[in-house]
Amino acid sequence: MPHAEFFLYSRAPIGLPRISTRWHERVDRAAGARLPNSLWGAARVGFLARSDRVNVFWGGTGLVPLIGLEARSVLTVHDLVYSLEPQTTSIRARWAARLFFRPSVRKADYIVCNSHGSARRLEAFLGRRADAVVHPGVSDAFRRREHAEVLRVLSRLDVRKPYLLAVGTWEPRKGLQRLIAAFLGLANQILLREHTLVLAGARGWKDDAIANAVSSGGDRIRAVGYVDDDSLAALYSGADALVFPSIYEGFGIPVLEARACGTRVVASDLPELREAGGEGAIYIPPTEAGIMAGIAQALASGAPAPLAPHELGWDQRARTFVPVLTGAIGLSKREARSMARAC
């Protein structure tokens, strides 16, 4: 969209990279900016967008303004965890979904889902059909890293090879407790006698049991917390496998990141994760026995080739998404195709 202007609304300065002079960061300085995130997005952002005479509002965080918005809206639905696995979320998140997510789905003029699995679930649970499916991409930071770089990152993070890797915020639906139990169950067998399990990701919610499980593993479990993309790419590159035993995902970006780095993947057998993992991943029931079997199979398998850059980047995704935005503006199909080609 070569002539469009873009506005990003936030409650505090976020340091938007200077992409071009057509990108503007709008920081809400009013008292309403002190509202909780979801309430601020529902009650304040619509008025900010109206003051900028926005033509189309994109709700990329799972909600659209419920009051004050005069523009048409496009909503990206990342997952339906609040409907499918509500017990894995915080009380605050569940109330936010009831108050803002479902009304946003009803209000949005266009819906975009990040996987066909999410689109099917959206229609089944909320009766709303997605207008498009746009798979997430990953940045070019996720590529196979050279051995020397991997060793530098591992030394800095105090990680030793060989290791298995898990990536994600510590929360109940990620299956980390079962993964730790499965790993420790295999740890004294020849297959994993020398391995450690590395957990990359920040602490989240309802995670006390996960923390206790990590402690129980002693020096066989290494929690490195949040790491930047370059360090994470090195962790993927050095791992014998990424193990991702989540009970539900809207897509599963770590699976795609691991594939970009040429890492074996063991993932729960979910439609959404099959979209992220493709044919080369090993799919398992997210049980202790299933995880054990998947790890054994991965370690007996050859490493896959990294995905090609054109399979990962955002350009192709943008060409799917742009027609949704231009359709919301009301452009003709010919104008929409022209804008999509220009992206």
Selection from 256, 269, 272, 281 nearest residue 80 by Cα: 272
pLDDT lower than 70: segments of the chain: 1-2, 331-343
* Domain ranges (residues) in the chain: 6-137+314-342, 147-299
Burial (Cβ within 10 Å: 0-12, 13-18, ≥19) of residue 330: exposed
- Name, in order, each residue with C-beta under 8 angstroms of 281's C-beta and a sequence gap of 6 or more: 255, 259, 265, 266, 267, 273, 274
Strand partners, 282: 266
The torsion defined by the Cα of 210, 137, 227 and 287, in degrees rounded to 10, comes to: 20
Q: In whole angstroms, give the CA distance from residue 101 to residue 82.
A: 9
DSSP-assigned letter for residue 73? E
Helix or strand (DSSP H, E) at 242: strand 241-244
Q: Do domains 6-137+314-342 and 147-299 have the same CATH topology?
A: yes
Asked if 194 and 163 touch (Cβ cutoff 8 Å), the reply is: no
Tally of CA atoms within 13 A in the half-sphere of 4 that contains its CB: 17
Query: What is the model's pLDDT at position 160?
Result: 95
- Radius of gyration of the chain, Cα coordinates, nearest whole angstrom: 21
Backbone angles phi and psi of 206, in degrees to 5: 50, 45
Measure Cα distances from 157 to 42, 121, 283 in Å.
40, 39, 29
4-32 burial, b for 16+ CB within 10 Å, e for fewer? eeebebebeeeeeeeeeeeeeeeebeeee
Selection from 247, 222, 245 nearest residue 235 by Cα: 222
Query: What is the model's pLDDT at position 343?
Result: 41
Query: What is the model's pLDDT at position 311?
Result: 75
Q: In whole angstroms, give the CA distance from residue 235 to residue 144.
A: 10
CATH number of 6-137+314-342: 3.40.50
Query: What is the model's pLDDT at position 339?
Result: 43
Query: What is the model's pLDDT at position 333?
Result: 44
Burial (Cβ within 10 Å: 0-12, 13-18, ≥19) of residue 245: buried
| Chain-centre distance for alpha carbon 246 | 13
| Chain-centre distance for alpha carbon 151 | 27
Strand ranges across the sheet with 196-200: 221-225, 196-200, 163-167, 241-244, 265-268, 282-284
State whether CATH 3.40.50.2000 applies to domain 147-299: yes
Query: What is the model's pLDDT at position 190?
Result: 82
